[in-house]
Amino acid sequence: PCYVDYVGITSSDNSFIYSLVTPKQVSQDASVIFIGENDDYSTSPYPFIGHLRVNSSCTATYDIQYFNSSGHDEFFVVGVDPTGQRAYGFSSRFAFSYDLQTHTITYLQQWPISNFMPHAIDVSSDYVAVIAGFFTQGQNIYKPLVYMLMLNISSLSVLDTWEYTPSNSSWQATTPNTD
């Protein structure tokens, strides 16, 4: 086994990691994709995506790409296609695809979906993503919502949606939606 420090430890980086994922199929190297933002609030928070690769000799390489500052965002998830070729990231403000070989970022033009806060994602081998989150309906009022999306390098299309509505007699119907 290898022990690898996060690159931010040695560079005095003030970063917060929101989500990470490991590809299901990779070469002999270990691979981890992570997303987050710097939390140095003397400047605007800058979201980023990173790719850590560790070879059989325990040599680690990092690639970290920063996005234009879009402000602080609590909702930031990442998924990777099962072949390990491309990662997809979603926040409440923007979405992107990230080529894990060339480290090229391409923004998905149909995102954001207004008032949607993503919380989880899974990407199938057919580039169909299931992304779950909450739709804001007003102050402290949220509705669970799941999207099924068809993804490609630069766009997405909504294949289906599912929203959960609790029955009036369920415990969820009486639970307040507070931040």
Residues 74-128 have pLDDT tens digits of 888 999 988 888 999 998 888 999 999 999 999 888 887 888 999 999 998 888 9
| pTM for the whole structure | 0.82
- Determine which of 71-75, 128-132, 150-154 has the lowest per-residue pLDDT on average: 71-75
Using one digit for the tens of pLDDT, what is the confidence trace for 20-79?
888 876 666 788 888 888 776 555 567 888 898 888 888 888 888 888 766 677 888 999
Q: Is the domain defined by 7-174 classed in CATH 2.40.128? A: yes
DSSP the chain: ------HHHHTT--EEEEEEE--SS--SSEEEEEEEEE--TTS---EEEEEEEE-TT--EEEEEEEPPP----S-EEEEE-TTSSEEEEEESS-EEEEETTT--EEE-TT-PPTTEEEEEEEE-TTSEEEEEEEEEEETTEEEEEEEEEEE-SS-EEEEEEEE----TTSGGGG-----
pLDDT bracket for residue 161 (50, 70, 90): very high
pLDDT at 41: 56
